[in-house]
Structure 1
Amino acid sequence: MPPAARPPLLQEARLLPGHKGSVNVALFNSDGNYCLSGGDDRRILLWNPRREEAAEPIKTYTGHNERVLGLAVAHDNGSFASCGGDRSVFVWDVPSGRVLRRLSGHSQRVNAVAYAGEGSSLLVSASYDTTARCWDMRSRNAAPVQILEGAADSLSAVAVCGAEILTASVDGVLRTYDARAGSRTADTLGAALTHVALSGDGHCALAGSLDGSLRLLDRSNGTLLNRYSGHTNRQFKLGACLSHDDALVLSGSEDGSLYVWDLVEARLQARIPAARGAVTSVACDPRRLEVLTGSHDGAVKLFTPG
């Protein structure tokens, strides 16, 4: 008898329809029980992605007057931040849908947001205007407490580890700002950067770029640890992340697929059809191997092990 076929690493488990136009960002909350998505339709949708009945959003948040480009969820899951083409950052109360704060100051679209500090006390926004701004969530101060400069082109993504803030820029440089020491380091990677994500232990940074590759860096010294390729990334900002246990690297692709590599060996483990357009967002559940994608075809999908 021939050997039994191996089950797929991941397979589509849920389609979450609701957006009209491209989905630019989709992510889980901090315990993985719910997820949010934002898109060109200027709306943010809250989902229970594992609900058995017909998938419909639990809640819709409206307020942006341009496309939604970035989302971040506070650690306690009670609030979240959004940003987009209207150059604004909104902070929302999850249950009521009320806007708690609207933060203005960027002169161009805001591409990404991330929470930092104990109790999500700081919010960082990264913009096409080449700056990142830090906002104090404990006060009502309308001005940022710090403006991070130094980039020569748009900031496409931001990630936070402790007191350190990482920004990915189209100028090809991954910058790390130490908020406590007031210092800045730069790793020049040579290609326009579209994304940055951190390993669970914070020791490694995963940078996506428009040369069609992902680079894994040792954050302590900038050493290139590994490189992952095979997907297509020449035009768009695409999401990428590490799995919940840091064993796998996952990325979207302009060919409509979800790509999965082994972290250590950089072997391609799976190429999974996910969309009719570019897969723009990829997020892994923080507790298990379940993956959320968003794409240009307007779909949000949940993938679970086969």
Structure 2
Amino acid sequence: MEIETGEGQVQIRLITKQQQYAVPDIPYSIGASVSQEELNTFVNALLQENVDEKSSKPIIFEFIVLNEFLRYRLNDHLKERSVSFEDVIEIEYVERFPVPEPQDCLLHDDWVSAVQTHGKWILTGCYDNTVNIWLVNGKHLLTIPGHSAPIKAVSWISIHDKVATFASASQDQTVMIWEWNIETNAVDCIYVCKGHERGVDSLATSQSCKLLASGSWDTMLKIWSCEQHDDDGEVSSKRLKGEQTRTPIKTLSGHREAISGIQWLNEETILTGSWDHTLRVWDLEQGGIKSEINGNKPIFDVSHSKLNGLVVTSSADKNVRLYDLRSNSGTIVKNTYAGHTQWVQSVCWSTTEENLFISGSYDNYVKLWDMRSPKAPLYDLLGHEDKVHDCDWSNPKYMISGGADNTVRIFKSKKSI
């Protein structure tokens, strides 16, 4: 028999994977209308009973009931899922991810449309046609001219022996590959990749750092070599002097509108998202489309997690969606995250926390999500005063974002990595 809201008791079992916070594995009887805050008080009281030294500071936990964070009273959570109140309810608890701390604000001369970190460096692309390199402590290292139109995407390629390579994609229809001498802080464009017939909107480097993929408003997906070669095709050990034109290794067609997001799933498989409302998985060996997933609005960005194999997308319908591309039964869409009030322009998984990702939107907000909490983000990362164009969490210590307020915002994770 169901217990009405605010009445009766339920039996629960409390479990955690964080063994330092484990409580006795026995059933507990609690009020059915218990809230998240009351559960926190209860678990902390149990922990205090099982330690010799009393802690003055309670630990804040999140509670997972039926694979989703508890965001309102337990009885309402159970009723929504048609769970009997006579069952013993298993509740998993995890320490809450600490609120990220705002760090520096990096000022640019125009809109910031692309950001990516690599270790202590930040690469940014700007609407004033320049690429910039910064340190995560806010120090500006280089402004790099060369493109003749706004930058729409940037991607680190590799770092070897004090020399880094990276790429930038622009509305001038080109992708440029750059070589940066870190010791002398000098940069050269070594390749200009030509072949797109409209502006290039998205860019990604393969895991081997040997290939680049670019997506454009010409609807084409193009694959480029990142390696430095002599004229006979052999990989060169010499540093090239001056830029050379590079043509694509492969051109793949199938999208009907701009390709706005790219991720390498592995060296032979690429995921793309497009303004044509579709996600497509491409098989490079076969040179064609492996699968196609239809949505109902333009898709602006895609992010694939190596930790859990799942994909999140950002869209013009103001939502973030979670996909399991491996799913053979039921829907491929596993969850929808509602909270933004304008187009969601960018998404990025954490590289160390398998449940966490960030999103950036035209509503000026960056939001930090746990995939088990679709009804509300963990935190709103405030600071932007205009549209957020891009966000990145490649370095687990820093969440960064660029926007139409001409700034890059940096938030530092307080969790020890």
Q: State if a TM-score over 0.5 links the two structures.
A: yes
The AA in structure 1 aligned to 2:277 is G
1:117 CA drift (Å): 5.2
- 1:161–1:202: 8 Å Cα contact kept in structure 2? no
Aligned mate of 1:145, from 235, 249, 260? 249
- Verify: 1:98 aligned to 2:194, yes or no: no
- How far apart are the structure 2 equivalents of 1:129 and 1:94? 30
* Higher helix proportion (structure 1 or 2): 2
Matches within 5 A, 1:161-172: 161-162=265-266, 163-172=268-277
- Verify: 1:261 aligned to 2:374, yes or no: no
- Verify: 1:248 aligned to 2:353, yes or no: no
- How far apart are the structure 2 equivalents of 1:16 and 1:35? 10
- How far apart are the structure 1 equivalents of 2:110 and 2:284? 37
Cα offsets for 1:55-86 (capped at 9, x unmatched): 44111211001000000111336100001110
- How far apart are the structure 1 equivalents of 2:364 and 2:101? 14
- Verify: 1:159 aligned to 2:263, yes or no: yes
Cα offsets for 1:201-224 (capped at 9, x unmatched): 361111111000111111223711
- How far apart are the structure 2 equivalents of 1:65 and 1:143? 19
TM-score, structure 1 normalization: 0.89
Higher radius of gyration, 1 or 2: 2
Structure 1 residues 202, 268: closer, same or farther in 2, change over 3 A? closer
SS of the residue 1:211 aligns to: coil
Aligned mate of 1:43, from 130, 138, 149? 130
Aligned mate of 1:177, from 278, 282, 286? 282
**Identical pairs, percent:** 23
Question: Which residue is equivalent to 2:306?
Answer: 200
The AA in structure 2 aligned to 1:292 is I
The AA in structure 1 aligned to 2:336 is R
- 2:180–2:187: 8 Å Cα contact kept in structure 1? yes
- 123-132 or 71-80: which moved more? 71-80
Aligned length: 293
Please report the RMSD computed on the Cα atoms of aligned residues, expressed in angstroms. 2.1
- How far apart are the structure 1 equivalents of 2:259 and 2:283? 17
Aligned mate of 1:281, from 390, 393, 396? 390
1:248 CA drift (Å): 1.3
Question: Which residue is equivalent to 1:215?
Answer: 321
The AA in structure 1 aligned to 2:128 is D
SS of the residue 1:94 aligns to: strand
Question: Which residue is equivalent to 1:61?
Answer: 144
Matches within 5 A, 1:17-32: 17=107, 19-29=108-118, 32=119
The AA in structure 1 aligned to 2:122 is C
Consecutive unaligned residues in structure 2, runs of 5 or more: 1-56, 61-96, 232-244
- How far apart are the structure 2 equivalents of 1:255 and 1:183? 36
TM-score, structure 2 normalization: 0.66
Structure 1 residues 198, 56: closer, same or farther in 2, change over 3 A? same
Question: Which residue is equivalent to 1:227?
Answer: 336
